[in-house]
Amino acid sequence: MNPTVAATVEETRQAVAAARRRGLSVGLVPTMGALHEGHASLIRAARRQTGFVVVSIFVNPTQFGPHEDLTRYPRPLQQDLEVCGREGVDLVFHPEPATVYPPGFCTYVEVTGLQDVMEGAFRAGHFRGVATVVLKLFNIVQPDVAFFGQKDGQQVRIVRQMVADLDVPVEVRVCPTVRAADGLALSSRNAYLDPEQRRGATALHAALELGRSLIEGGERDPERVRGAMAARIGAAPGAVLDYAEVVAADSLRRPDRLRGRVMLAVAVRFGSTRLIDNVLVDVPDTHSV
């Protein structure tokens, strides 16, 4: 059975208030739809850990650049509702853009520094749109816990900073990236890949695992790790590298030498399709120099 669908802020707040009167905790899974197993894993985590599960389905226009794929981004709403029904979602918030951004809207959230590197360097304004819509969703739903996937590692870091800086009363829980059998991170954009591109896309995970193995083997020079990752992706037919980064997981800045927790991150284009992925690596102290 499909869940209840709310299109307005008021409907959503009324449903959440009713759940709270029943003593239920509220979990939110923010999505742009085109739900796959990665999203389903977040919903299942929310189902296990909270009493009332809300999934937002909203293709957020403010996080797309002028030459990005907003118009062709998949919107299979009926399939998404079937996934939500199967996973036991209580409420789907599916607003129109004018509901989220009414006429005269002019307030945006920026997490300076963290938003300007990696994805931010290639997609100007992207994280301004992400932070703004996530804060709006938090204010509308007022969840106890919000669930995100590690695949969007920079986004997770930015959301956590925003929550801390603005004293937003929500706990952010991050769930592991869900991958296909060959290592490719599940993404709604994978559907754009033709068979040859799909085979080449395994280079993202292969490059990240190469970087991990170098660090675990004792390499502490981030440029050597980054160079090896870039070379691995460069060897994949059709792959165009936007970036291969090795950064401190907290600051998202390049360190002089690897220590503590680091994020290895890549962004690669196959034709008009752009894929991202990352892994977190705790640098072993035993190999420190």
Q: Is 173 within 8 Å of 45 (Cβ atoms)?
A: yes
Report how far Cα 265 is from the mean position of its chain's Cα atoms: 13
pLDDT tens for each residue of 149-179: 999 999 999 999 999 999 999 999 999 999 9
Angstrom CA distances, 15 to 7, 74, 93, stand at 12, 27, 10
Same fold, 4-175 and 188-281: no
pLDDT over threshold 70, residue 289:
no
pLDDT over threshold 60, residue 287:
no
Contact residues for 135 (Cβ-Cβ < 8 A; gap 6+): 109, 162, 166, 168
pLDDT tens for each residue of 91-128: 999 999 999 999 999 999 999 999 999 999 999 999 99
Query: Given this model, what pLDDT does residue 186 score?
Result: 96
**Residue 233, SS3 per DSSP:** helix
pTM equals 0.95
Query: Given this model, what pLDDT does residue 288 score?
Result: 44
CB neighbour burial string for 201-215, b if at least 16 within 10 angstroms, e if fewer: bebbbbbbebbbebb
Q: Which pLDDT band, with edges at 50, 70 and 90, does 68 fall under?
A: confident
- Protein fold of 4-175: Rossmann fold (3.40.50)
Angstrom CA distances, 39 to 77, 79, 117, 122, 280, stand at 14, 13, 26, 25, 20
pLDDT tens for each residue of 179-237: 999 999 999 999 999 999 999 999 999 999 999 999 999 999 999 999 999 999 999 99
Domain boundaries, given as residue ranges, for the chain: 4-175, 188-281
Measure the CA–CA gap between 65 and 89, rounded to whole angstroms: 31
Instruction: Write down the catalytic residue from 36, 39, 94, 205.
Output: 39
Measure the CA–CA gap between 120 and 254, rounded to whole angstroms: 15
What residues form DSSP beta bridges with 6? 93
Residue owning tokens 């804060």: 135
DSSP 7-36: -SHHHHHHHHHHHHHTT--EEEEEE-S---
What residues form DSSP beta bridges with 76? none
Query: Given this model, what pLDDT does residue 69 score?
Result: 83
188-281 CATH choice from 3.30.1300.10, 2.102.10.10, 3.40.190.10, 1.10.10.10:
3.30.1300.10
Mean pLDDT of the chain: 96
Is residue 39 among the annotated active site residues? yes
